[in-house]
């Protein structure tokens, strides 16, 4: 093989098999990465026979392709690790170039595909999106990319609010709930006044909810009423959660949950089960960085009360019923949360962590719903606001 062919063919082949070229590949995506014959054969058979519509109990929860299943991803990572180590030891540049791929070609092709898939996510006047991922995976940057595309696609001006102080493209810095409430209500009563489109990007103000201390308990309980309020005023929400456990049941059911696994990779519509995320519907690769300007070293700010220092010193924060328009509305949201959690397979004790009632209260509302048909109008009323 010529030096030129040796330099360019392996990385170009990697892009071809990953469907970043101009032709549809005949080979599977694990070609050359999985060197174990039995594992390679298994992945080939899986790729040829994968048909969740025909065989899965819940096909809508299955990944869009076999390569996106947790099992396939684990096999590929393990095999690529071994192949890469052996190639480094042997000085096998062709294999290393194949594993690396052609970054330029990938950026050109997959970047355009990524934008197209991102735009599909936003095919809703007021989407609700929840982002998860470890530190350094680009969650905040992706959240701003989503908001950037949302504003670009809109046929009218979209007001942008966030608790990230340094975002230059934001109309309003929103460090606490009273500021958020005032910002949402600026156009008046939604039943009588047209509402301008708004998007709120909440960056890890749920970080305190990862533990079960006072702050975490408070955040967990107030997320449901806050989501209801945002949707009531025609708001979109892009919410960066700290852990799967910090996602309110209502948010789990109504939002598209996205797991960032790398700065340029996002898994879309993942399931949350037992504090873990699994089974993405599909993966977006080649995610470009946002053009919006902010300091990525900044720690975001959030409080449920305007007087942050008073709350930090032990003062009383805003009550759950004050987030909703009334105590009656807060109770309706709690009932809907109890039913949402039941349908998600959560225990009554787990659900009670997200509302201002006991697990016994949750069990009683669920029993009334199942056996007596009660609360169906309440659930429908809450759903009509969330899905409007």
Give tens-digit pLDDT for 216-272: 667 777 888 899 999 999 899 999 987 887 788 888 888 899 999 998 899 998 887
Same domain, residue pair 97 and 148: no
Same domain, residue pair 66 and 153: no
Same domain, residue pair 218 and 268: yes
Residue 319 lies in a domain: no
Same domain, residue pair 93 and 215: no
Among 312, 344, 360, the domain-final residue is 312
Among 50, 69, 101, the domain-final residue is 101
Q: How many domains does the chain have?
A: 3
Percent of the chain with pLDDT over 70: 82
Same domain, residue pair 277 and 382: no
Residue 320 lies in a domain: no
- In which order are the strands placed within the sheet that holds 282-285? 172-173, 159-162, 198-203, 235-240, 128-132, 256-262, 265-268, 282-285
Same domain, residue pair 94 and 124: no
Query: Which residue range forms the structural domain that includes residue 335?
Result: 326-386
CATH code of the domain covering residue 136: 3.40.50.300
Q: Which residue has the tokens 């905040």?
A: 140
* Per-residue model confidence as pLDDT tens digits over 285-314: 888 889 999 988 777 888 887 655 444 444
Residue 123 lies in a domain: yes
- Check pLDDT > 60 for residue 178: yes
- Which is nearest to 3 in space by CA: 97, 87, 101, 88? 97
Residue 207 lies in a domain: yes
Contact between residue 293 and residue 169 where contact means Cβ atoms under 8 Å apart: yes
Same domain, residue pair 182 and 253: yes
What is the bridge-based pairing of β-strands 128-132 and 256-262?
A: parallel
Same domain, residue pair 139 and 167: yes
């Amino acid at each position: 093989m010529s030096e030129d062919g040796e330099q360019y063919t392996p990385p170009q082949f990697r892009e071809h098999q990953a469907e970043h070229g101009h032709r549809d590949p005949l080979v599977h995506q694990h070609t050359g990465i999985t060197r174990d014959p039995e594992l390679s054969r298994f992945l080939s058979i899986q790729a040829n026979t994968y048909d969740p519509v025909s065989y899965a109990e819940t096909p809508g929860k299955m990944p869009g392709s076999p390569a996106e299943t947790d099992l396939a991803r684990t096999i590929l990572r393990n095999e690529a690790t071994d192949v890469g180590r052996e190639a480094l030891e042997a000085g096998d540049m062709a294999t290393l170039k194949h594993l690396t791929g052609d970054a330029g070609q990938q950026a050109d092709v997959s970047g355009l595909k990524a934008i197209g898939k991102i735009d599909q996510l936003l095919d809703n006047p007021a989407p609700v999106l929840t982002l998860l991922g470890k530190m350094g995976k680009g969650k905040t940057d992706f959240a701003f990319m989503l908001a950037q595309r949302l504003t670009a696609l809109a046929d009218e001006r979209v007001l942008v609010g966030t608790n990230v102080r340094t975002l230059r493209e934001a109309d309003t810095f929103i460090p606490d709930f009273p500021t958020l409430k005032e910002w949402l209500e600026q156009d008046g009563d939604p039943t009588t006044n047209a509402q301008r489109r708004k998007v709120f990007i909440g960056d890890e103000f749920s970080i305190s909810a990862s533990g079960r201390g006072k702050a975490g308990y408070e955040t967990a309980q107030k997320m449901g009423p806050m989501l209801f309020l945002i949707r009531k005023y025609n708001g979109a929400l892009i919410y960066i959660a700290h852990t799967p456990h910090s996602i309110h049941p209502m948010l789990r059911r109504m939002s598209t949950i996205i797991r960032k696994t790398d700065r340029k990779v996002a898994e879309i519509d993942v399931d949350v089960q037992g504090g873990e995320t699994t089974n993405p519907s599909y993966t977006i690769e080649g995610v470009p960085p946002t053009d919006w300007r902010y300091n990525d070293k900044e720690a975001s700010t959030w409080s449920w009360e305007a007087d942050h220092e008073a709350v930090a010193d032990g003062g009383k924060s805003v009550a759950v019923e004050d987030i909703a328009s009334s105590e009656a509305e807060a109770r309706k949201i709690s009932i809907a949360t109890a039913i949402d959690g039941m349908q998600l397979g959560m225990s009554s004790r787990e659900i009670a962590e997200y509302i201002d009632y006991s697990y016994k209260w949750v069990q009683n509302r669920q029993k009334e719903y199942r056996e007596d048909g009660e609360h169906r109008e309440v659930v429908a009323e809450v759903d009509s606001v969330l899905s409007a």
